[in-house]
Structure 1
Amino acid sequence: MKNLTRREREKLVRKNLMIKAAKKLFSNYNFNDVTMDEIANEAEFTKRTLYQYFSSKEDIYFAVILGGFKKLYSYFQKSIKVKATGYRKLLLAISAYYTFYKQNPKIFKLMNYVGYVKRNRESSLSYKDFQKFDDLLFRELARIIEEGQIDGSIRSDLNPQTTGYALAFLITGFFQQLSESGKSFTKFHSMDEDEFIDFIIDLLLASLSKK
Structure 2
Amino acid sequence: MSIKDRREREKEKRRNDIFAAAEKLFLSRGYDDVSMNDIAQEVELSKATLYLYFDNKDELFFAIVLRGTRILNSMIREDVKKAKSGIDKVSAFRMAYHNFNRDYSDYIRIYNYFQSGRFEIAYKESFKDEKSFKSKKQYSDLSELQSASEYLNSIHEMRIERFTIMCNSVQDGIDDGTIRPDVDPAEAAVLLSSISKSMSDIPPDHRKILEKRGIDRDKFVRDVENLIRHMIMSYDPE
Does the TM-score normalized on the shorter chain lie above 0.5? Answer: yes
Q: Equivalent residue for 1:190? A: 214
Query: Aligned partners of 2:209, 2:47: CA distance in 1, in Å?
Result: 42
Point out the structure with max Rg over C-alpha: 2
Q: Equivalent residue for 2:80? A: 80
Give 3-state SS (helix, strand or coil) of 1:32's partner.
coil
Encode CA deviations 1:42-74: one digit per residue, 9 max, x unaligned: 122221121122222221111101111111111
Contact (CA 8 Å) 2:98, 2:196: kept in 1 or not? no
Structure 1's unaligned 5+ residue stretches are none
* Residue 167 (structure 1) aligned to one of 180, 186, 192: 192
Superposed CA RMSD in Å reads 2.5
Q: Equivalent residue for 2:11? A: 11
Q: Equivalent residue for 1:65? A: 65
Structure 2's unaligned 5+ residue stretches are 122-145
Q: Equivalent residue for 1:27? A: 27
Shift in alpha-carbon separation, 1:52–1:188, aligned structure 2, 3 A: farther
TM-score norm. by structure 2 comes to: 0.76
Give 3-state SS (helix, strand or coil) of 1:81's partner.
helix
Query: Aligned partners of 2:104, 2:206: CA distance in 1, in Å?
Result: 14
Contact (CA 8 Å) 1:152, 1:210: kept in 2 or not? yes
Q: Equivalent residue for 1:140? A: 165
TM-score norm. by structure 1 comes to: 0.85
Q: Equivalent residue for 1:54? A: 54
Query: Aligned partners of 1:184, 1:11: CA distance in 2, in Å?
Result: 49
Encode CA deviations 1:10-37: one digit per residue, 9 max, x unaligned: 3333223222222211122142121111
* Residue 149 (structure 2) aligned to one of 124, 149, 152: 124
Query: Aligned partners of 1:75, 1:67: CA distance in 2, in Å?
Result: 13
Query: Aligned partners of 1:202, 1:77: CA distance in 2, in Å?
Result: 21
Query: Aligned partners of 2:75, 2:14: CA distance in 1, in Å?
Result: 27
Shift in alpha-carbon separation, 1:29–1:166, aligned structure 2, 3 A: same
Q: Equivalent residue for 1:155? A: 180
Shift in alpha-carbon separation, 1:140–1:6, aligned structure 2, 3 A: farther
Per mean C-alpha deviation after superposition, the further-off stretch among 93-102 and 63-72 is 93-102
What number of residue pairs does the alignment pair up? 206
Query: Aligned partners of 1:9, 1:147: CA distance in 2, in Å?
Result: 46
Query: Aligned partners of 1:102, 1:138: CA distance in 2, in Å?
Result: 21
Contact (CA 8 Å) 2:70, 2:158: kept in 1 or not? yes
